[in-house]
Amino acid sequence: MQQSFVHEARSGRVVFGAGSRRQLPEELAASGLRRVVVLTTPGQRALGDDVAAMLGDRCAGVYDQAVMHVPIDTARKAIDALRTLGADGCVAVGGGSTIGLGKAIALESSLPIVALPTTYAGSEMTPLYGLTDGGIKRTGRDWKVMPRTVIYDPELTYDLPVGLSLTSGMNAIAHAAEGLYAPNGNPIVSLMAEEGIRALASALPRIKASAHDAAARSEALYGAWLCGSVLGNAQMGIHHKLCHILGGSFNLPHAEVHTVILPHALAYNAAHAGAAMSRVGRALGHANGPRGLYAFARQLGVPMRLSELGMPADGLDRAADLVVESPYPNPRPIERDAVRQLLQHAFDGTAPIPGETPC
Ligand code: NAD
């Protein structure tokens, strides 16, 4: 018998499959979009141009200035450019940074977004947005920033460098793991979370072995979709709080920080979220969730220490202070000394101990 729960289904349209980007013109037509701007990063400009060429007259231009954490000036310039071009929507082709720029535009202008994700970050499935102003990243939730249509074409991920593929996959697993103990979780969220972790755990080692393994790329993107859906439907806890602070206040790389922190954050919560940890372990084929993740990360050869990401040792105290500063939902109470210990373990790459409470 399930405990009581609420589930609100607000997912947009999802088109999934190798080569599915070629359905973009029909998808735009079905949405009544006639003059879109393609958003991308400078590094993915060539891909943006390919997408624009596919759209012909339906494309008003390519805007290639998306950068990490959506600086407010970047968003303002993009909104001005879209107004000048008379755009009626955006096609965001890229990772969380590009989709984040589309969300900032949608927040201000209400223009619809069609997303073609090229990483596993999952932003395309959430109503969450972030904007950075004066070095402070403000996040919020508004359904109008959720992409109307998401086209998942695994072929767009073939060129994602293997290292970033693995850390981006770990970033996705983090959404699912925290969704399993979210206070507003429910059976659908948990099903998506466990299956998402299972799919990524199966796919990432194969991508490490062969970056163009079509089946592995497809399974990883499927997992990323499920994990992103969990992020869009469930409140996140200490793991996401830690990563937000380490990324925002210490300028550490997003996916890598998630990768290093996750086993430690799960260890912190383990004794307070037994059922969730069992499901994480089961999805990984391991008896213990945090240890299983740590072993999985070691097997992938991804970064394991905050010290190797550029975190200063003398920043750990400040990070711990920031993590305990404001309340947020988490199965285990947020205790400053234990958080500081967690950060030290993550800094040194020490194996996580489930619970990290004296037992
Ligand atoms: P990213 O979008 O910053 O991409 C990292 C780099 O990889 C960029 O230079 C990009 O051009 C390049 N790249 C992306 N896909 C590629 C591909 N297939 N081939 C070659 N190069 C490629 O990285 P990300 O991890 O996807 O996104 C991180 C950002 O997204 C952060 O700012 C994070 O806060 C945000 N985010 C937001 C949400 C949300 O729900 N709002 C969810 C997850 C992440």
- Interval 242-252: pLDDT, tens: 999 999 889 89
d(CA 65, CA 57): 22
pLDDT band at 2 (very low <50, low <70, confident <90, very high): low
Average confidence (pLDDT) over 244-261: 93
Q: Which of 51, 97, 129 to mutate to test the pocket of ligand 1 (most atoms within 8 A of CB)?
A: 97
- Gap between the Cα atoms of 312 and 115, Å rounded: 36
Start-end of CATH 3.40.50.1970 domains in the chain: 13-157
Span(s) in the chain for CATH 1.20.1090.10: 162-348
Closest ligand 1 atom, residue 126 Cα: 40
Fold of 13-157: Rossmann fold (3.40.50)
Question: In 3-state terms, what secondary structure has residue 319?
Answer: helix
Half-sphere CA count of 224, side-chain side, radius 13 A: 34
Quick one: average pLDDT of 263-271?
Answer: 96
Q: Does 255 sit in the ligand 1 pocket, CB within 6 Å?
A: yes
The helix/strand/coil state of 316 is helix
What is the average pLDDT across 123-139? 90
What is residue 1's predicted lDDT score, i.e. its pLDDT?
Answer: 45
Ligand 1 atom with the shortest distance to the CA of 167: 25
CATH 1.20.1090.10 correct for 162-348: yes
**Ligand 1 centroid from CA 99, angstroms:** 8
Ligand 1 centroid from CA 107, angstroms: 19
**pLDDT tens-place string over residues 307-354:** 999 999 999 999 999 999 988 999 999 999 999 999 999 999 998 865
Q: Is the dihedral of CA 152, 158, 164, 165 positive or negative?
A: positive
User: Would you state the structure tokens that stand for residue 307, as one six-digit string?
Assistant: 């010290």
- Spatial separation of the C-alpha atoms in residues 6 and 234, rounded to whole Å: 11
The span from the CA of 115 to the CA of 24, in Å, is 10
Three-class DSSP category at 285? coil
pLDDT for position 354: 53
Q: Is the CB of 168 under 6 A from ligand 1?
A: yes
- SS3 category, 128: strand
165 lines ligand 1 (CB under 6 A): no
Please work out whether the CB of residue 229 comes within 6 Å of at least one atom of ligand 1: no
